[in-house]
Amino acid sequence: MSGKEMMFTPVKLGAIELKNRLVMAPLTRMRAIDGDVPNPLAKTYYSQRAGAGLIISEATQISCLGKGYPATPGIYSAEQTAAWKEIVDAVHAQGGKMVAQLWHVGRISHSSLHPEQGLPEAPSALAPAGQTYGADWKLHDYETPRAMSEK
């Protein structure tokens, strides 16, 4: 069997049976709407790619403080989870499989992305060197995070 033929044969990845060996890598779309909810167009975007054996979602923050860039989706609220369920159901309806790329950017987050929570948290109050994007889509110097403590 040639490599091309093998690429289109089913394969088992852990407990997931894939129809082929094509995997769509995660791509940060930065199109979430207010509340870090996936944009309704995400359902179309992902279902159009359901021919891949597996789709890995864009980076999806697990908490508000884990947000790394403007307009990235979360999966920590009921509204976000409901939107992701619609997306995954649409992918499944096209015969596709999908998994989530979960992320939390830690001290790299900028406080403007979560103004109610303030500065990002880290094990120590040490600012990294460099810059990141804020809620205004402009580059800002990394901030000195709040040192975590036992709660």
Domain boundaries, the chain: 3-104, 118-151
| pLDDT confidence of residue 121 | 93
Mean model confidence pLDDT for the chain: 95
DSSP 33: B
70-74 long-range contacts, CB within 8 A, separation 24+: 70/30, 70/113, 70/133, 70/134, 70/135, 70/136, 70/137, 71/30, 71/31, 71/32, 71/33, 72/28, 72/30, 72/32, 72/36, 73/32, 73/36, 73/37, 73/38, 73/42, 74/32, 74/35, 74/36, 74/37
What confidence category does residue 3 fall into, taking pLDDT thresholds of 50, 70 and 90? Answer: confident
Three-state SS at 147: strand
Q: pTM (2 decimals)?
A: 0.91
Q: How many residues appear in the chain?
A: 151
The Cα 28–Cα 103 span in angstroms is 11
For 18-44, b where at least 16 C-beta lie within 10 A, e where not — what string?
bbebeebebeebeebeeebbbbeebbe
Q: What is the pLDDT of residues 115-144, one digit of tens each?
A: 999 999 999 999 999 999 999 999 999 999
What confidence category does residue 150 fall into, taking pLDDT thresholds of 50, 70 and 90? Answer: confident
